[in-house]
Each structure stands twice: as C-alpha cells, then as structure tokens.
Amino acid sequence: MAGDPLKAQGFRTQRAELPEDLWQPLYDRANYAAAGATQLSFFSIPQGQTATIIRNGTATANTVKGYLETNMQNANVVPTKMFKFVGISLAYVHLTEGTITNPNDRDELRGGGYIQFRIVDKDILYLPLVALPELNPMVSVATTANVTSVAAQAGGGGYGVPMYKLPIPITLNPYENFSVTLNWPTAQVIVNAVDVYVILQGFMRKLVCAIVRQLTLQTLNIGGSLRRSRRGIAVIYSRKPVTTIKEHPEEELRMVA
C-alpha cells in the first residue's frame, strides 16, 4: 500500500467499512474432583455465575466466574459474534502446584477420557484426550535417595501455541448453541483435584451490521446511509474513490442488535 510501508491499515481494529476479525479464542474452566467424575461440561456456566474453582490451593465452591475462568457471557451461545475455530487446546491448574503426583493425575485424565464437541444437534468432533496438546505441559523428575521430587510445568506458547489443528476450520454463527464435554467411561480417581481448561483456538468476527442497531432510515455517522431493499436492509458506506454496498437481511440485523 502506497504511503504505508508497514501495511498497518490492513490490520486496523476500528474498521467501520468491514467486519472486524480478531484472534480471540473461547475458553472455559471446570473442576475435576479427586473422587472422580464421568463428565465435565464446558461453556455452560458463563461469567457472573458460580462454580467450584481452585483458588489459592483450595477447590472453592460457589466461586463467581470471571475472565480468569471464562470469556463466555452467555451459556452455550455467543449472541453477537461469529467464531472461526482452527484448533483445540487443554490446560490444567492443579490443587497444589509442584506436587510429584500431578503428572500421574494428568495421565489418568488424559488416558481415560475423550472430548465431544457439538453444535446445535450435530456432533462435530470426538477425540481421545491424549490427542489434544496442552498449553502448560508438565515435566517431572523421579525421586531418588538424594534428590527431592520435582514436577514443573511450562507456560503457554503464544504464537505457534500448542493445539490440535483442525484440518477444516469450524464456524460458529451467532446464536448457534454449542457444547463441549470431556467424558470418562469410568470415573478416574486422582490424588488431588485439578481444574481443566478447554480452549477453542480461533478468530472472533464482530459483524459489521451490529453498528446499525437501533438505527432506522437515517444517515449513519460513518459517512454512509441506510436504506430498505427487497432483500432486507442495505448498509451503504461512502468511501472515496468507491462505494461499497453490503446487504444484510432484516433477520440478521435483529439477531445481532
């Protein structure tokens, strides 16, 4: 782009003329008790609701979930955004970090369970947990007569983050119900409770028609106009030297408003 050697204009986050595509995974956290369980459900308890969560070395019931635990604001649905998932990752938060039994607890969960990913009434993916990469992989050192037991874990990977990369990306449309569960045919009894994260890696799209919420047939403050057509409502953006017209069915406008 002339006059823009960094090509920064193509990566603006404020672009009224186009949808905003941002890298933003969906994530959720659930507690697996030491006594074992046969299923953990994810993305069903949004922010502001309570769940058992490990805090400061204690599995505390009725903990109010916030951004530390999840970025879901509604149960099993994202109302005003579209997501394109490209991969799935797991992460673990142990009751007592550094305990030598933590790797064994992970092995029990990893080796005995599978993930089920479902959108509306369609099963999208079944996969054993051993196939899912962990954001914080663990390294342990065995006990000897003269060495103290050590169990350490690494942090997340940033760019090139560990994930099970989906050969075909999955698109989650606004208001589509979805669910993710981790399942164990037999409850896995472990030494200490552990919180499990499921991270759906991908892009978030803020739909452009969201900017016309509560507007009728009037001039938009972005230099365009709004008119009604047979197909629904057309948002007309005036941008020199061209004019871009995007059609948005009325049902979609009501959906995202």
Q: 75 and 114 in one domain?
A: yes
Q: 162 and 71 in one domain?
A: yes
Q: Which pLDDT band, with edges at 50, 70 and 90, does 246 fall under?
A: very low
pLDDT at residue 200 tops 90: yes
Residue 216 resides in a domain: yes
Q: 112 and 39 in one domain?
A: yes
Report pLDDT for 136: 86
Least reliable range by pLDDT among 76-90, 92-106, 152-166, 172-186: 152-166
Least reliable range by pLDDT among 46-50, 166-170, 181-185, 250-254: 250-254
Tell me the C-alpha distance between 191 and 188, whole Å.
10
Q: Which pLDDT band, with edges at 50, 70 and 90, does 2 fall under?
A: low
Q: 66 and 94 in one domain?
A: yes
Report pLDDT for 217: 36
Residue 122 resides in a domain: yes
Looking at per-residue confidence, does 19 or 208 come out higher? Answer: 19
Average pLDDT rounded to a whole number, residues 46-56: 96
Residue 6 resides in a domain: no
pTM of the model: 0.74
Q: Which pLDDT band, with edges at 50, 70 and 90, does 37 fall under?
A: very high
Q: Which pLDDT band, with edges at 50, 70 and 90, does 150 fall under?
A: low
Q: 172 and 50 in one domain?
A: yes
Residue 5 resides in a domain: no
Q: 175 and 48 in one domain?
A: yes
Q: 118 and 222 in one domain?
A: no
Give the residue numbers spanning the domain of 31: 16-206
pLDDT at residue 197 tops 90: yes
Q: Which two tokens stand for residue 106?
A: 């992970």
Q: Which pLDDT band, with edges at 50, 70 and 90, does 13 fall under?
A: low
Q: Which pLDDT band, with edges at 50, 70 and 90, does 142 fall under?
A: low
Among 120, 221, 209, which residue's Cα sits nearest to residue 171?
120
Least reliable range by pLDDT among 81-90, 128-137, 245-254: 245-254
Q: 110 and 35 in one domain?
A: yes
Report pLDDT for 190: 97
Q: 233 and 148 in one domain?
A: no
| CA distances, 205 to each of 17, 41, 81, 109, 210 (Å) | 14, 25, 6, 33, 11
Q: What total of structural domains would you count in the chain?
A: 2
Q: pLDDT of 216-237, one tens digit each?
A: 333 344 444 444 444 444 444 4
Tell me the C-alpha distance between 85 and 176, whole Å.
14
Least reliable range by pLDDT among 46-55, 110-119, 215-224: 215-224
Looking at per-residue confidence, does 176 or 219 come out higher? Answer: 176
Q: 117 and 142 in one domain?
A: yes
Task: Find the Cα–Cα–Cα–Cα dihedral 12, 15, 18, 19, rounded to 10°.
Answer: 80
Q: 21 and 91 in one domain?
A: yes
Q: Which residues contact 179 (CB under 8 A, 6 or more apart)?
A: 41, 42, 43, 44, 76, 116, 117, 118
